[in-house]
Amino acid sequence: MFSLKNKIAVVTGGGSGIGKAISALFAKQGATVHILELTEESSKVAVEEITNDGGKVFAHACNVAIQKEVSATFEKIGAINILVNNAGIAHIGKVDTTSEADFDRIMNVNVKGVYNCLHAAIPQLRQSNGGIIVNMASIASWVGIPDRFAYSTAKGAVMAMTLSVAKDYISENIRCNSISPARVHTPFVDGFITKTYPGQEAEMFEKLSKTQPIGRMAKPEEVAALALYLCSDEASFISGCDYPIDGGFIKLNN
């Protein structure tokens, strides 16, 4: 089950965190994985680990916010079966503390970047007579998260794009779903805690972990397993859905 043998997958932001876990698992399940990162250096560790594990992987330097770069990269890759729109950046701030520059930066990567990849991927999926798209949304698409105005706005747009694409291309055998994680323990989270709460790292890690009712953060590999299912033939009857993976955050927090 859940084989991706002979599948060609593109994973944006596939060099670290959730994206790296997805890239590694997809390669392990037989896919040829193309990682898109801002620089090839950002993909170096992931490429080495996947290659050493017997996987087939390629790295591409590509700024997803620039359509010309995205289009050229997808044309170079050619026909694909799977797109995982995982690349994204974070921002802390309420609407009145979010500058125009920061708002534009978040929109350019988290919204326009997803649009650019969707725009470039549809013709390549058509070449394969269909395929699967998974967009990385967030629990911020579902509920209000304090001090995350721009990020929440962007992830809400990602969920809306997911529904639109699923509707428009279902007759072309293209499925589109999204995943909404709560907090996931990645190097980004560790760096954020160290930078924002120096000297309080252990205390803040525990506090952030307990915001999920299950009492911990997700592991990147757990999100990757859900992405694998949604991109496998076993999920062939699923399109236009969002899947929270949140340790009970949305439904069980009172």
Contact by Cβ (8 Å): 5, 32: no
Q: Give the rounded distance of the alpha carbon of 196 from its chain centre.
A: 24
Q: How many helices (H) and strands (E) does the chain have?
A: 10, 7
Give the whole-angstrom CA distance, residue 184 versus residue 222: 9
Residue 65 exposed, middle or buried by CB count within 10 Å (0-12, 13-18, 19+): buried
Q: Give the rounded distance of the alpha carbon of 50 from its chain centre.
A: 18
**169 catalytic, yes or no?**
no
Q: Spot the catalytic one: 151, 169, 229, 243.
A: 151
Q: Which of 180, 244, 184, 181 is nearest to 208 (CA)?
A: 184
Q: Give the rounded distance of the alpha carbon of 142 from its chain centre.
A: 16
CB-CB neighbours of 141 under 10 Å:
22
- Catalytic residues, by residue number, are 151
